[in-house]
Amino acid sequence: MDAHGLVVRDHPAPLPEGPATTAEALTAGVRDHPDREALVHGDPLDGGEALTYAELDARVTAAAGGLTALGIRPGDRVACSLPNRVALVEAFLATQRLGAVWLGINTNLTADEVAWTLDDSEVNLLVTTDDRADSLRGPALDRRAAARHLLVVDPTNGSGSWADLVDAGHPAPTTDVDPQAPAAIAYTSGTTGRPKGAVHSQHNLLWPGISSRRSYPSVPGERHGTALALTILNMLVLGPLWAYLRGTTAVLVERTDAVGFAAEVRTQRINRVTLVPTIAHDLVAHPDVHRDDLTTLTQTIIGAGHSPSVLRDAWEAKFGTRAIVGYGLTEAPTGVTREHVSRPMRPDGAGYPLEPVRVVIVDDEDQPLPDGDTGEICLAPVTHGPWAGVWTPMLGYLGRPDATAEALRGGVLHTGDLGFLDEHGQLVIRGRRTEMILRGGANVYPAEVERVVLDHPGVREVAVLGLVDDRLGEVVAAGLVAEPGPWADGDPDLLVNDVRSFCQERLACYKVPDQMLVLDRFPRNTMGKVIKGDLAPAFE
């Protein structure tokens, strides 16, 4: 491992098709169709932006030159906390050309959460909005390295110091990018209550788009929509980067409400999109969204959460197409299994392994289990065919060598999830060892929420768990045991309301418990551990 606790990986088998790095993601498009739209946001006639492959490439080159003028070098960390805008895509591609390391920061995080992330990842530069920058000034930012290089973007028109940097036309350096070096960080679960930074190489980020060329050939005039936040690394990989590796158009969808989203699909003629169950549920349920609104969609993927078969059936009944599901995780990165309409499916199925990936189910001793037996889901590269030995998981967790060694032990990626492979080879998920909650497509980690709730003076004990929800997939629930004294003797609703306000000041909105109950005690096993499965019925 290197000094950051990451794997120094021997070069795996090369990708069966180019490019070899994300730095070259636009190369084929510029060569083959420079005038084709590459990136669209909104209506260009009404304040939106549309860039061709040639135009986007020129701006990314200028951005790379500007970052270099600021002192950004290979291995430096560049963070971005923006809504889905052209500047975000420019910044991502520019960091990749420099061999720098990208980090997306969710715009919903509180200033304290952002400050911790900036420290943990040792960010050198932050690209964000004026409002976000103002919220971070003072203890959250002033003494941090990122404060020395802070670039802002006005989300209403794209102006600001980022645009000034790009327009300055600084010459871009020629950088020999190592495809196996750290390229991007995505924060995921932490058993100590803090997230861990999963680090990926440029090699890792390429395989979803390249493998999709054969699995899901592009359609004429293909336009790939992205409505989910591009600060999530997986959405950059499955959105713009995926489109550029296919030579198609990436469309940044502004609205996620049912009527607004449907209108953008219709006016932008979007063909492919990835949704969370919440958006899919709202599209199905809204009376003002009709089949004709989504007729251009040839592929809809519902991921990032529990997707009940009743939702998929309702989608097909209303829109006349099949919304497919899959399974994936940040450490992979992105999806590793996907439903195939031409192969047998089951209501609880999570799809079949994608071409580069092999799914292995192991027992508690890491020994492979036969089909049908439930164990931990592990991932490895396939051993035969054009993708043999190509797929690689993350390089590890930043600054956490023990967690890296645990996750990558035995030469496979241990997901922490439980499941089995059925007789047809499709994956069935049975649960999550990590207890991660997927609320409306956003990851919520109980340990992180519990850490905050326990800081409240009225809470003696807390147990956070996920409850199934038809719209959001899961919601966050918290059982509370009050501290003896006034809080325990008073109205339980007062404690619940006070804890909710306490959490709202310290956690992103989607992490604040949706349901809370004050209980006398928690159900526990003989070792004293809270049995969260036995706690769930109390919320019914």
**CATH number (domain holding residue 73):** 3.40.50.980
pLDDT tens-digit series, residues 391-427: 999 999 999 999 999 999 999 999 988 889 999 999 9
What secondary structure letter does DSSP report for 173?
P
- Tokens linked to 477: 């629930």
Which residues are CB-contacts of 512 (< 8 A; sequence separation ≥ 6)? 476, 500, 503, 504
Among residues 177, 203, 232, the one where a domain terminates is 177
Q: At what angle do helices 53-69 and 86-98 cross, to 10 degrees?
A: 60
| Burial (CB count <10 Å: 0-12, 13-18, 19+), residue 203 | buried
Domain-ending residue, one of 177, 196, 220: 177
Query: Does 67 reside within a domain?
Result: yes
Residue given tokens 């004709």 in the structure block: 292
pLDDT: which is higher, 145 or 329? 329
- For the beta sheet containing 459-469, the strands, ordered from the edge strand earlier in sequence to the opposite edge, are 459-469, 473-482, 515-518
Question: 75 and 101 in contact (C-beta within 8 Å)?
Answer: yes
Q: What is the mean pLDDT of the chain?
A: 91
Q: Looking at residue 450, which CATH number applies to its domain?
A: 3.30.300.30
Asked whether residue 125 is assigned to any structural domain, the reply reads yes
Question: Of 33, 35, 496, 40, which Cα lies nearest the Cα of 226?
Answer: 40
Q: What residues pair up with 352 in beta bridges, in sequence order? A: 338
For residue 153, pLDDT beyond 90? yes
Task: Extract the runs of DSSP E, i.e. beta strands, from 470-511.
Answer: 473-482
Judge if pTM exceeds 0.85: yes
DSSP codes joined into one string, 381-423: E-SSSTTTTT-----EETT-HHHHHHHTGGGSEEEEEEEEE-T
The CA distances from residue 132 to 112, 141, 154, in Å, are 12, 11, 11
User: What phi, psi does 294 have (nearest 5°)?
Assistant: -115, 25
Q: Which of 320, 321, 328 is nearest to 303 (CA)?
A: 328
195 occurs within a structural domain: no
User: Which of the four pLDDT bands, split at 50, 70 and 90, describes residue 191?
Assistant: very low
The average pLDDT across 174-198 equals: 85
d(Cα 73, Cα 139) in Å, to the nearest integer?
27
Handedness of CA 213, 217, 218, 224 (dihedral sign): negative
Pair of tokens at residue 64: 């790379």
Task: Give the ranges where 269-387 is alpha helix by DSSP (H).
Answer: 277-285, 309-319
Q: Residue 146: pLDDT band by 50, 70, 90 thresholds?
A: low
**What is the sign of the dihedral through the CA atoms of 438, 442, 447 and 453?**
negative
Mean pLDDT, residues 173-199: 86
- Residues whose CB is less than 8 angstroms from the CB of residue 12 and which lie 6 or more positions away in sequence, other chains included: 203, 381, 389, 390, 391, 392
Q: How far apart are CA 355 and CA 344, in angstroms?
A: 17
* Dist CA 302 CA 325 (whole Å): 5
Least confident of 18-22, 151-155, 301-305, 411-415: 301-305
| pLDDT greater at residue 142 or residue 228 | 228
Question: Kind of pairing, strands 352-353 and 196-201?
Answer: unpaired
Please answer whether residues 445 and 484 qualify as being in contact, where contact means their C-beta atoms are separated by less than 8 angstroms. no
In a domain, 307, yes or no: no
Q: Look at residues 472, 470, 490 and name the one whose alpha carbon lies nearest to residue 482.
A: 490
Q: Is residue 122 part of a domain?
A: yes
pLDDT at 142 over 80: no
Write out pLDDT tens, residues 34-59.
999 999 998 877 778 999 999 999 99
Asked if the structure places residue 41 within a domain, the reply is: no
Of the candidates 138, 156, 177, which is a domain's last residue? 177
pLDDT of residue 43: 81
- The tally of CA atoms less than 13 A away on the side-chain side of residue 69 is 15
Please name the amino acid found at residue 524: R
Max alpha carbon distance in the chain (Å)? Answer: 73
Residue 367 lies in a domain: no
Is the model's pLDDT at 22 over the cut of 70?
A: yes
Report the first-to-last Cα separation within the chain, whole angstroms: 47
Express as a percent the part of the chain with pLDDT over 70.
94
- pLDDT one-digit tens code per residue, 194-229: 789 999 999 999 999 999 998 888 888 999 999 999
Q: Which domain holds residue 503?
A: 437-539
pLDDT for res 242:
97
Total domains in the fold of the chain: 2
Q: What is the pLDDT, as a whole number, of residue 276? A: 85
Please tell me the predicted confidence (pLDDT) of residue 418. Answer: 83
Nearest to 150 by CA among 230, 229, 89, 70: 70
**184 has pLDDT over 50:** yes
Question: Do the domain assignments include residue 425?
Answer: no
Quick one: tokens of 284?
A: 């199905």
pLDDT in tens, 265-312: 999 999 999 998 888 989 999 999 999 999 999 999 987 555 777 788
Cβ pair 336, 327 in contact under 8 A: yes
Which residues, other chains included, contact 491 with Cβ-Cβ below 8 Å and sequence gap of 6+? Answer: none
Size of the chain in residues:
540
Closest of 217, 189, 184 to residue 202, by C-alpha: 184
- Predicted confidence (pLDDT) at residue 527 exceeds the cutoff of 60: no
Ordered strands of the 375-381 beta sheet: 357-362, 375-381, 413-421, 427-432
